[in-house]
Structure 1
Amino acid sequence: MADTAVIERPVGGAHAAPPTGRSPFVARLADRVPWLLRSAGWVGPIAVALFAGVLRLWNLGHPNAFVFDETYYPKDAWSLLQQGYEGSWPNNANEQLLAVPQTIPLGSSPAFVAHPPLGKWVIALGEAVYGLHPFGWRVVVALLGTLTVLMLARIGRRLFGSTLLGCTAALLMSVDGLQLVMSRTGLLDGVLMFFVLAAFGCLLLDRDRTRARLLADGVDGGSVRLGLRPWRLAAGLMLGAACSVKWNGAQILAAFGLLTVLWDQAGRRRAGARHPWRAMLRHDAVPAFASMVVVGAATYVASWSGWFATSGGYDRQWGEGRSGFGPAAWRGWWHYQSEMWHFNTTLTSPHTYQSNPWSWLVQGRPVSMYWQPVSTGQQGCTAPGGCTTQILALGTPLLWWTACFALAYLLWAWFFRRDWRSGAVLCAVAAVYLPWFGFQQRTIFSFYMVVLVPFLCLAVAQMLGAVLGPPGCSVRRRAWGGVAAGSVVLAVMGCFLYFLPLYTAQVIPMTDWQDHMWFTSWI
């Protein structure tokens, strides 16, 4: 198994090794203040998460406008909050809501929506506290975006056995423009990202704990019954929630389900099982299916509880008077699912900012979520040629371009060095990214890749760990590696700072905006 720059023992792993490679100063400091090492695994991640939270919550109510598809989801969320299902709105609802919030009565007729309801229920939590206002429909998504940074630091720490690399991955994600924009808008993809990463972390915890149990028993690993595995159940719950936000979660559930049974097989082999595949199929495959698929499906159906509990939702009465299996409500619900499938697989209406998945990793066609010209003398604009304000869903370019090299490194480490960590990250990348190539004719957008950002940051962190070098190498090698890795992180942060005005709708001169458009495809 390949090793990156591990500066601590693997967290929670079954084969933990004592710390190595610490400088005498760090060793003396740790001896005098033992709690530093005990708390470092939380202090660093929390500090990075606080930094990310400031970026995501600062001036969150600006702009006071519906940004891109916020014209749909916040209103759907408010309908769910008020009546349990998505209702119709007047054509002029946007202008009236922004001028005098919460004064427009909901229509009694239901509205067809193309996505399951859980993501909109999440948005509704903020609206329940702050009302139908831009801050209200963005705040919970922003909080989840911040929690995702904290989760990534802890996941990276466990995956690489290094607080430094875990915090590096989290810091990189905190300064990714796409993750920032999608955390500051009331859309569904940031919510989907949270549940997918949470599921990945749960499976990682399950892997470590089950391997520890297999090795602790001291018997043939093929005969051990592991019983209830709560972290895998939690992963099934999170993946079911992901499917309940957007159907993209289904392919990720399938990939993560395959990943966990492969981990089971490898764990039993390492524990001494003579026939690890047979042992996995006998003891682990069926429980894995129940934990992931059955729990996920139950979670998905439960997310529609508002639709089932009321009578006015779209297709709610479709099953009345029609023959078929099960209650009328179930038949109507199933028909609704088929209509959603048809819509999501046949949407080909052209859009200015649609793009092909081939361009997504290099950020070839970012989506302009919001753009308004600002005349000289208005909103603080003093430029003779006027100003503009924009929200551009652009991943920090240097981070994404570096991630392309990092993915190539992970492919090499996984194929030639059998590095399971690289395989885990690549599995997530493939599950999120590759299915979109099957929709070449569908209208799709690059901001869907916000779900990919955590795993790209893990890939970059792993590559930077290899650049830094293992603890056992020479001081000179570590010093040069530290300079190189640190330079990459600082360059990414500088690039993020340069594009920050375009991520937060700041008023900038038109000439500055043109300077930020590095490629014509960004306009």
Structure 2
Amino acid sequence: MSYQLNKWFTIIGIASIFLFSVILRFWQLGRFNTLVFDEVYYAKFANNYLTQTEFFNAHPPLSQYIIAIGIWIGSILPFGQEIVNNETGSTLASWSYRWINALTGSFIPVVVGAIAYQLTHRWSYSFIAALLIALDGLFLVESRYALNNIYLVIFGLLGHLCLIIALQNNQLKPRKWLALSGIFFGASAAIKWNGLGFLLGIYMLWILAWIIQFIAPTKKSEYKFPWQNLTQLNLIKFTLYLFVIPIITYSLLWIPHIILNPQYGFWEMQQQIFSYHQRVGSGPDTHPYCAQWFTWPLMIRPVVYFYKNTGLLDKPEPSLPPLPPDIGDPKVNPLIFDVHAMGNPILWWLSVWGILLLILMLFNRIWHWEKNRQARRKKIKLKQTFQFPPASEMWLLLYLIINWMSNFLPWSKVSRCTFLYHYMGALVFAVLAFSWWVDRLLNSRKNYLKIIGFTTIFIVFLAFVFWMPVYLGLPLSPQDWQLRMWFRSWI
């Protein structure tokens, strides 16, 4: 009975998180009637598909197809057409090229919660993971504008979710889950090439699973964690579902773009994209918000997507929403409208500790394993030592660490200008790691540990509320805005 109550509490809780995410993403979605940050590319490119206008795109086309569908649906609806602009090349309401991003982003906490449950079958872990990812500011900001990172993340996570489902119960479930996994991985790469980080993590886990099976064979009846079942995927199956199908998916998704833009064929287009990104420089001279990859986890350099100070405007700015009626002269009482693409600082910093502690724990367990192996070889009897976490959860830790590294460390080889949002794929696994620690605290028998767990969640929530004005672009006085800019590098 308690299991069912816990289950339904979690389902209702995640449904509430989804509703909360929808409300935040759709609230005044068209409040800035202009193109914000990279909407100057993605919203325009999406509209180009609808107007059959040729163009060059430095990224694969899937996100623009999706935004184009959103524009088409939004433009025929009988509401929301009062405030429009012509910045995409057509007369459109700004919410029409944003709403499908908002809807997609609302589902990310649900998918993260589903992955957490499928990995552990712990309802509390599922709820905590969904809640914490819903309290991140960067995912909120990216969902409210016609950008592409939300699609990259959700397709990559859906690929993981389908593969985990396929690996359950000591046998491969219907091949449709494996095929869907391959399709989603291909779709993630068809958003941006760094979507391949989600697939790289699976490749590394598959190789590791075979190495562990070779060193310490495990009977099928002893499998307790889905990733142990990876060895059921022989080289032929693995190649078909997680190499061939992603490539086919990626290739097919280029067809509409190449039909519209016949100047380059498929292979020529890949070469053009590669050459373009190699030509992009790095450092503040290239873009003021360039951020080196190793600074992302600490959120040293966020990106300003939109900034207007009414005290510096010579005339009313049509892109801004109406000013509050009690503000008076905006030059005397200036307001700042700022959309900061920054995460929840408390969540990000704690997630760094969460993933680093897992890495230290993993090294500790490897050291103990080697120590026990040497003792067995020398026939030395060791005293049994307490090991945390249990061996059955080591695959969970390996999954989180390897996928965090696969989505993060490859950026060390990228020479072009990179931005904070490139960390979003890795962030999901860092948050899952942090959620695992919080779940442990809340399920501890010691009350003081439970209090620490609840306090941590509450502080993350307070931080989300505190920085919400710069996620949503709410008007702030210069003093209130400065209060949220804790470091000079944030400005």
Q: Please report the TM-score for the alignment, with normalisation by the length of structure 1.
A: 0.76
- 1:425 aligned residue (383, 400, 404): 400
Q: Distance in 2 between matches of 1:42 and 1:280?
A: 29
Q: Structure 1 residues 57, 283: CA separation in 2 closer, same or farther (over 3 Å shift)?
A: closer
Q: Distance in 1 between matches of 2:301 and 2:60?
A: 27
Q: Quote the residue 1:6 is aligned against.
A: none
Aligned length: 424
- Quote the sequence identity (%): 26
The 3-state SS of whatever aligns with 1:72 is helix
Post-superposition offset of 1:402: 0.3
- 1:366 aligned residue (283, 288, 302): 302
- 1:56 aligned residue (12, 25, 32): 25
Residues 456-491 of structure 1 deviation map (CA, whole Å, 9 limit, x = unaligned): 221111111232345xx4xxx0x2222101101100
Q: Distance in 2 between matches of 1:40 and 1:123?
A: 35
The 8 Å contact of residues 44 and 163 in structure 1, kept in 2 or not, is answered as no
1:117 aligns with 2:86: no
Q: Distance in 1 between matches of 2:442 and 2:122?
A: 12
Q: Distance in 1 between matches of 2:179 and 2:12?
A: 28
The 3-state SS of whatever aligns with 2:307 is strand
Q: Structure 1 residues 283, 428: CA separation in 2 closer, same or farther (over 3 Å shift)?
A: closer
1:139 aligns with 2:99: yes
Q: Structure 1 residues 368, 258: CA separation in 2 closer, same or farther (over 3 Å shift)?
A: same
The 8 Å contact of residues 201 and 407 in structure 2, kept in 1 or not, is answered as no
Residues 167-189 of structure 1 deviation map (CA, whole Å, 9 limit, x = unaligned): 11111111101111011111111
- 2:39 aligned residue (66, 70, 88): 70
The 5 A counterparts of 1:5-16 are none
The 5 A counterparts of 1:105-504 are 110-131=54-75, 132-209=92-169, 211=170, 213=171, 229-260=175-206, 262-263=208-209, 269-271=218-220, 284-308=234-258, 310=259, 312-313=260-261, 315-316=263-264, 332-348=265-281, 350-375=286-311, 379-380=323-324, 381=327, 384-415=332-363, 416=365, 419-439=394-414, 441-470=415-444, 473=445, 477=446, 479-504=447-472
Post-superposition offset of 1:262: 4.2
Q: Structure 1 residues 264, 208: CA separation in 2 closer, same or farther (over 3 Å shift)?
A: farther
The 8 Å contact of residues 290 and 419 in structure 2, kept in 1 or not, is answered as yes
The 3-state SS of whatever aligns with 2:431 is helix
Q: Structure 1 residues 244, 432: CA separation in 2 closer, same or farther (over 3 Å shift)?
A: same
Name the Cα RMSD after superposition.
Answer: 2.5
Q: Quote the residue 2:386 is aligned against.
A: none
The 8 Å contact of residues 128 and 439 in structure 2, kept in 1 or not, is answered as no
Deviates more, 1:284-293 or 1:340-349: 340-349
Post-superposition offset of 1:272: 6.6
Q: Distance in 2 between matches of 1:164 and 1:363?
A: 28
Post-superposition offset of 1:119: 0.9
Deviates more, 1:251-260 or 1:176-185: 251-260
Residues 314-362 of structure 1 deviation map (CA, whole Å, 9 limit, x = unaligned): 524xxxxxxxxxxxxxxx2211210111112331161011111111001
Where structure 1 has 5 or more consecutive residues not aligned to the other structure, the ranges are 1-26, 88-109, 214-225, 274-278, 317-331
Q: Please report the TM-score for the alignment, with normalisation by the length of structure 2.
A: 0.81
Post-superposition offset of 1:260: 4.1
Q: Distance in 2 between matches of 1:240 and 1:159?
A: 22
Q: Quote the residue 2:78 is aligned against.
A: none
1:517 aligns with 2:490: no
Where structure 2 has 5 or more consecutive residues not aligned to the other structure, the ranges are 76-91, 223-228, 317-321, 366-388
The 3-state SS of whatever aligns with 2:479 is helix
Post-superposition offset of 1:43: 2.0
The 8 Å contact of residues 259 and 424 in structure 1, kept in 2 or not, is answered as yes
